[in-house]
Structure 1
Amino acid sequence: MFSLAGKKALVVGIANEHSIAYGIAKALKSQGAEVAITYLNAKSRPYVEPLAAELKAPIFMPLNVQVSAQQDALFAAIADQWGTIDIIVHSIAFCPMEDLHGRVTDCSREGFLTAMDVSVHSFLRLIKAAEPMMPNGGTCMTVSYYGAEKVIDHYNIMGPVKSALESVTRYTAAELGPKGIRIHALSPGPLATRAASGIDHFDALLNAAADRAPTHHLATIDDVGAYAAFLASDGATNVTGGVHMIDGGYSIVS
């Protein structure tokens, strides 16, 4: 039905084989795209490097989004090797544990700013860097969660943070639409990823989501990848600005 042959994609956020970003990277590669992969730091590299090798990533570089020089080096390498880019995948979020596990009311200024910088503004930085390298349009995707829209027990400060991320998705989609650049937020139900494991009582959240969803199945990273691959394709050139629920219908049930 569609092909990504000839397209170039940057995937940010793979931590291990359970990562949503890995599911997306696999799907993009399977449809013919070339995939550049980043890793957070030396500690995470051994977990990510075998996956980058499996995906035959021509670019494999460190990216801590709070280190501007690393992003500059990454996009310089992309410009040198590819010249242009078609797809950006942003699948990262972070909040200091003491703020993540506390009440929204009690969130520290430092914790809030850190969560917003890593989880939201970094998406803007990637979009801005990619924009001049997308002369024929492209697709930028991030990952959200239903806690952006409704109060979810124990999701805490990440709810307001993901709300901001979804708003950024809409505003950038409006601004960049005339250039053919589409912006999307993917919103799977809870998945057992390394990042999600930091949420308090997460196992209970997984079980409740499976019980509540009409399909009674949690989304998988492959489900998210398949949807993302379609959104990156030419078949979705007139789709932008949405929050795409990939959750077995969890979000439609009151």
Structure 2
Amino acid sequence: MHTDIPLERRDLIAQRLAQGQPVVAAALATEFQVSEDAIRRDLRALAAEGRCRRVYGGALPPLPGALPMAVRMDAGRERKAALARAAVAVIEPGEFLFLDSGSTNLALAACLPEDHALTVATNSVDIAAALLRRQDVQLIMVGGAVDPLVGGCVDATAVLAVGQMNIQRCFLGACAVTVEAGICTVDAGDAAFKRALRAASRRCVAMATNDKLGLQLPYRVTPIREIDHLVVEHDADFQTLKALAKQGTQVLKAARPAAPG
């Protein structure tokens, strides 16, 4: 007989998902002798941790790169900070920037130059909060319904707002980067928003940690040739970078990240 302690039950469900098994709420309720509401609470908690994808009647294992923003913020901070420090070099004084929602762009917000008189628009709740007290930055927040996976607004309201902007340089959030498919993401709504953002921007920058290079995800955003600068880690695979550079993007390498403090 299974234990009915919620955390132990949740861990057992998480183990199955980690092994690639889908789960059905009704079957789990029978197996653990609890209500379906109790199982649904377990699945909501696991989804919030990025350990499953909720679907009608149960849950599926998570897609690669599909962690919620709240989880991604704390992962690889030093590597993302190194990418951000390299990326700020392309920013020019007085530019109108757009920082797409993403944990690496959140790192970029923390190191924007203070003497550039920048206007920064974003669809990210966390990026807007990080810039709110910057007296040297004119901040524009794109609204709409907040998607917890993305960490910002990517609905029709956000797409319409971006379409009316004349953005000089956008920093596009990249969930995956491949030579064949370009910038990709796990969510159809996020992909549509990113395409609208790229279309409204004169120049485009993307930053990618090593785990995103070559990752296959379902929704295409833009080909590599539409990215002006791609910022990668200091030890990114040479052959991959060579192939990406042949697509027309300028590849910038970050310095070695600082050791965790």
* Fold match (TM-score > 0.5): no
TM-score norm. by structure 2 comes to 0.41
Name which one, 1 or 2, has greater alpha-carbon Rg: 2
What's the TM-score once normalised by structure 1's chain length?
Answer: 0.42
Larger RCO of the pair (alpha carbons < 8 Å, separation 6+): 1
Structure number having the greater strand percentage: 2
